[in-house]
Amino acid sequence: MNAQRVTLGIDPGTARLGYGVIRGEDPATSLEFGIVETKSHEDMPSRLLQLHDELLGLIRDYRPSVMVIEKLFFSRNVTNAISVGQARGVAMLTAAESGIQVVEYTPAEVKQAVAGYGNADKLQIQQMVKIILGLNELPEPDDAADALAVAICHVQHSGFLESLESGNVQ
């Protein structure tokens, strides 16, 4: 994997969409992370357009080669699941229109890759992201930490696959 490769991680949501931009693989470095927050009093099309515009800005600024996004898991809260699904759709569409590959991982895969435990809690993920990326403080809010975690998961996963393909795994 190219040490200069830029990965954009997304933790989807319409109220708060977390994002994390990292460069390289071992060690990866954080370029930027945060959230896109929309106003609940605005109509959904306006909120989705805001997500699209903010993601386009990140793509233009950092030129990622891949967008990594958490897979939607089934929830008892159908309204929340639909809202997250809409945000995922906007993110995927934005990546596709920008010519960026999209890769998905389940929350358990992300937790396993980052914390070594598929049921890690939010604080454990924040602490491991801080260590892996060499940050001075815990990444906050947790939506941003989750986005960084999904990007880290992909970098680790794709680095392993590239090693397999090249025959460098022992």
- Residue span of the structural domain in which 51 resides: 6-166
CATH number for the domain harbouring residue 160: 3.30.420.10
Residue with tokens 């930490």: 145
pTM: 0.89
Residues 17 and 91 sit within 8 Å (Cβ to Cβ): yes
Residues 36 and 16 sit within 8 Å (Cβ to Cβ): yes
When pLDDT is cut at 50, 70 and 90, the band that residue 159 belongs to is low
In a domain, 59, yes or no: yes
In a domain, 76, yes or no: yes
pLDDT in tens, 136-148: 999 999 999 999 9
Number of domains in the chain: 1
| Mean pLDDT in residue range 57-75 | 90
pLDDT in tens, 97-140: 999 999 999 999 999 999 998 889 999 999 999 999 999 999 99
In a domain, 1, yes or no: no
Among residues 54, 70, 142, 146, which one is catalytic?
Answer: 70
Give pLDDT, residue 54: 98
In a domain, 150, yes or no: yes
pLDDT in tens, 14-65: 999 999 999 998 789 999 999 999 999 999 999 999 999 999 999 999 999 9
Among residues 25, 54, 142, 143, which one is catalytic?
Answer: 143
**In angstroms, rounded to a whole number, what is the distance separating the alpha carbons of residues 30 and 13?**
21
Give pLDDT, residue 118: 84
| 70 assigned to active site | yes
In a domain, 159, yes or no: yes
Give pLDDT, residue 164: 41
Among residues 11, 25, 142, 146, which one is catalytic?
Answer: 11
**CA-CA-CA-CA torsion sign (27, 31, 33, 38):** negative
In a domain, 144, yes or no: yes
Give pLDDT, residue 117: 87
When pLDDT is cut at 50, 70 and 90, the band that residue 157 belongs to is confident
Give pLDDT, residue 169: 45
In a domain, 148, yes or no: yes
Give pLDDT, residue 82: 87
